[in-house]
Structure 1
């Protein structure tokens, strides 16, 4: 009789410890937060030129060129001469950086090409974004 009551008592005290599972969940959550890549928006709306075909990209950074020769990166305005250190720091943060260059319809093509040359001189892949026709 004594052995029987001890077996019943042992069965009632058995519980599943959830602490290791919670540790694993939190570690996975931290991993996905740290490895996530966030897109930096230029901070200004532009009118894109029209073309017949549009390739969809998922860039790390969008760079916008405005008609007044301003270059917008991450909601901050720069001149063409000042963007190289900004882009270099973004590349240092994310070695797999891809940039989509957006030129306003009224922007000077020379300015857009200067920005593209700065980006390619840093060996960053750059794609020009346009509106489909």
Structure 2
């Protein structure tokens, strides 16, 4: 009788669930999602974009140029000015061809926007779009 009680007590203690394999799977999935995540590069400045009904989601692999309300032309957080657009885009597009998205503030003069587009075309880019805010 005594051995039967000891056997039941030892059986109840050994019926624990091992969580180590579950944690391994969770960490592997976490690492997988971290590695495969694609981040959209931003221009580094906040721009008040004009509204448009036909706005589309921003692509993940693009060149981004921002034109602030003060007329600064920004690329990757650096003020390159209108004169630096051509050289910067020529250097960046040597490795891969991607579309150019210009995020211009809605108060930017059209003349400045046209100058930036001209410099981008002289750099060899043909797929140029303007970023807008969805209404």
What interval of TM-score do these two structures reach, taking the shorter chain for normalisation?
0.5 to 0.7
Conserved? CA contact 1:63–1:100, under 8 Å: yes
Query: For structure 1, which runs of at least 5 residues remain unmatched after alignment?
Result: none
2:90 corresponds to which residue?
84
Conserved? CA contact 1:64–1:72, under 8 Å: yes
How do 1:6-45 residues align onto structure 2 when only pairs under 5 Å count?
Answer: 6-45=7-46
Conserved? CA contact 2:52–2:132, under 8 Å: no
Distance of aligned partners of 1:101 and 1:117 in 2 relative to their CA distance in 1, 3 Å threshold: farther
**Count of aligned positions:** 124
How do 1:1-133 residues align onto structure 2 when only pairs under 5 Å count?
Answer: 1=1, 2-46=3-47, 48=49, 53-60=53-60, 61=62, 62-65=64-67, 71-78=73-80, 79-80=84-85, 81-87=87-93, 91=96, 99-104=100-105, 105-106=108-109, 107-115=112-120, 118=123, 120=125, 126-130=128-132
How far is 1:28 from its partner? 1.1
Distance of aligned partners of 1:37 and 1:117 in 2 relative to their CA distance in 1, 3 Å threshold: farther
The alignment partner of 1:14 has SS state of coil
How far is 1:110 from its partner? 3.0
Q: 1-side partners of 2:128 and 2:101: how far apart? A: 6
Q: 2-side partners of 1:109 and 1:84: how far apart? A: 18
The alignment partner of 2:129 has SS state of strand
The farther-off stretch of 99-108 and 28-37 is 99-108
Query: For structure 2, which runs of at least 5 residues remain unmatched after alignment?
Result: none
